[in-house]
Chains A and B, each alone.
Chain A
Amino acid sequence: MSKLTVDLEKVAHSVNMIIPAMTILLALLGYYVSFYFHFLTVAGLFLTVLNMSYLYGQKRHALLANFGLLAQGRYILESIGPELRQYLFASDTEERPFNRVERSEVYRKAQGVDSSSSFGTLLDADELKLAHSMFPMDKSKIEPFSLTFGEERGIEATYTLNSPVIISGMSFGALGEKAVRALSRGAKYAQIPMNTGEGGHPKYHLMEGADLIFQIGTAKFGVRHEDGTLDEDKLRALSALPQIKMIELKFSQGAKPGKGGLLPKEKITEEISQLRGVAMGSDVVSPTYHSECIDVPSTLDFIARLQEVSGIPVGFKLCIGRIDQFRALAQGMKERDIYPDFITIDGAEGGTGAAPKSFMDDVGMPLLRALPIAHRILIEEGVRDRLKLLSSGKLINAGRQLKALSLGADAICSARGFMLAIGCIQALQCNKNSCPVGITTHNPKLQRGLDIELKAKRVKNYAESLLKDHKELLAATGHKAWRDLTPLNLIAPEHDQADTSDRQEFTL
């Protein structure tokens, strides 16, 4: 007895013969038995013509040219593969960048339903963990969070953050109008600030009344001369708006460090082209660097210029690449007595609307490595107390956020956490203008289902739930203030569980 196997090549060739043969048979039945058979003849004719066009009328796809119609099965399955994997085949902990467990936690928090789990963790035990104290803090004794930017320089227009979480930079362009408004309104409800992203004049961010951090990217959308240099008048006018509380100069972001922002042409509407001052019909690729910043002195001069022109706290965001350059920058701050009001360290695992895959996958330092290095260098160079340190990069739950705070961050920025809160299903189509839940698209048909008020409340729920979890975890670590967290509050993954010595420092 021979084994039964499926030879797809033979199946495809058989199908290629059966389709026209069946069509001829149906046509004969239609003419000699009943004309009703011609309903099927018509379908057979269409399939025959289509199959012939694949086999003999095109050369772009070898698979179609060799196997015809049946080969489309591969493309069809491939195109719905992400959905099939997400719905059916991927386990709760294996999806990327966020697995189902992580996403579900955000959804539950945003919807205000119980996010507790049962029976034990689904994660590996050998991961970076928070170290609890034998003597937890009474939650009622936890001090309210407060972080004031600009106080080190003694400026008038300081900005005080009352929650450790900030909505990270997301521009109108990367996001659609409704998503920006939902996030911004939610930020107002939750009393947290939102970063505008590098999308030019933040028309929709301003609309909802939230405190804003205006981001200046390398293209300086919204505050640029035609030649791409800084237009001080425009910056002065924007900074004078009461909602603009701080300025963030973006040097690089974790998803594409060393490369400028990218807005695919599919997402450039007439309004976006006006707000950014760019043409429609082609991708907008921002320069890789600020033309004003070519070395440490010029970079610091530019920061000082922004501080002087704006009159509000000014910081910068970067993903750390070369550690020696970051140290040189810190040394330069001390030498020239110019300090940014904050630095945002973005991990290489950070998200984006669009970036080349090689940059997303292979460039930049991950957050949990970069953050302690930056923190340590700033201390070693004697500048840590002159600025605040923010961090971002997959910080969507309180546990990971507290780990970042333990590694030196003063506050947390999250973009994708809040995207999930307003209904992101991780369809991974942010760069295609086809986001099925209407967040990263400008297609009105897809934005139709996004209810701004409902989603704004979810932003508020999520932010408040994070803060509640922060307090619970903080109490577990035995501290009463976020600033008390140190690397001693972490259990490094490589730490030998059998090691009974008292050394428990997080190793770099």
Chain B
Amino acid sequence: MKILMTLLMWGCQLGVAFILAMAGLGKLQGSEMDIALFTELNMEPGGRVMIGICELCSAAGLLHPLSAAYSALLGAAVLTGAGLAHLGPLGAEGLDLYLPTYSALLLILIMRRGELPFSSSRAHH
């Protein structure tokens, strides 16, 4: 059971890291779609570059056990922001991978919550 959970966690990490890396590279390379989206949000080019860097950092961090929990938190924050954008000016299109990615990030966070500094492990000693 423990091995299965570990496999599931690492499967999620690798999958999400790939998706975030692709999204981040797209933003940093200035793909037409991303430029159009961030123009719509009045965040072009600063916001696009900033979010792209965050996505790449999150993707890289998910590949190492020491940084995976923090990277999952960063990734969830970026995706929450993306959700806000799609709830507003961008509309609901282009969200095929959104829910699976967000769910995977939450799963990683739940499984690795003990690695965050504000865990409950040291309380009440």
Question: Which A residues contact B (CB, under 8 angstroms)?
Answer: 27, 30-31, 34-36, 38-39, 41-43, 45-46, 72, 75-76, 78-79, 82, 428-429, 432
Contact = CB atoms under 8 A, between A and B. Distances in A.
A35 B123 contact: no
Contacts of B89: 31, 35
- Interface of chain B, main secondary structure: loop
B45 interface: no
Interface in B103-125: 118, 120, 122-125
B47 A35 contact: yes
B77 interface: yes
- Size category of the B interface is 10 to 19
Interface in B24-47: 41-43, 47
Given A31-B88, A78-B124, A45 B43 contact: no
**For chain A, what secondary structure do more than half of its interface residues adopt (helix, strand, loop), or is it mixed?**
helix
A43 B73 CA distance: 11
A45 B80 contact: yes
Nearest to B78: A42
Contacts of A429: 125
A357 to B, nearest CB: 11
A38 B84 contact: yes
B72 to A, nearest CB: 13
Contacts of A31: 88-89
Nearest to A428: B125
Given A78-B124, A79-B123, A42 B85 contact: no
A43 B80 CA distance: 9
Contacts of B47: 35-36
B124 A42 contact: no
Closest 10 CB pairs of A and B: A35-B41, A42-B80, A79-B122, A75-B123, A38-B84, A42-B81, A79-B123, A42-B77, A31-B88, A35-B43
Contacts of B122: 79
Contacts of A39: 81
A27 B89 CA distance: 13
Given A35-B47, A36-B47, A75-B123, A46 B77 contact: yes
Given A79-B122, A82-B125, A428-B125, 14 more contacts: A35-B43, A38-B84, A38-B85, A41-B84, A42-B80, A42-B81, A46-B77, A46-B80, A72-B118, A75-B123, A78-B123, A79-B123, A79-B124, A432-B125
User: A36, A428, A432: which has the most chain B beta carbons within 10 Å?
Assistant: A36
B125 A79 contact: yes
A45 B80 CA distance: 9
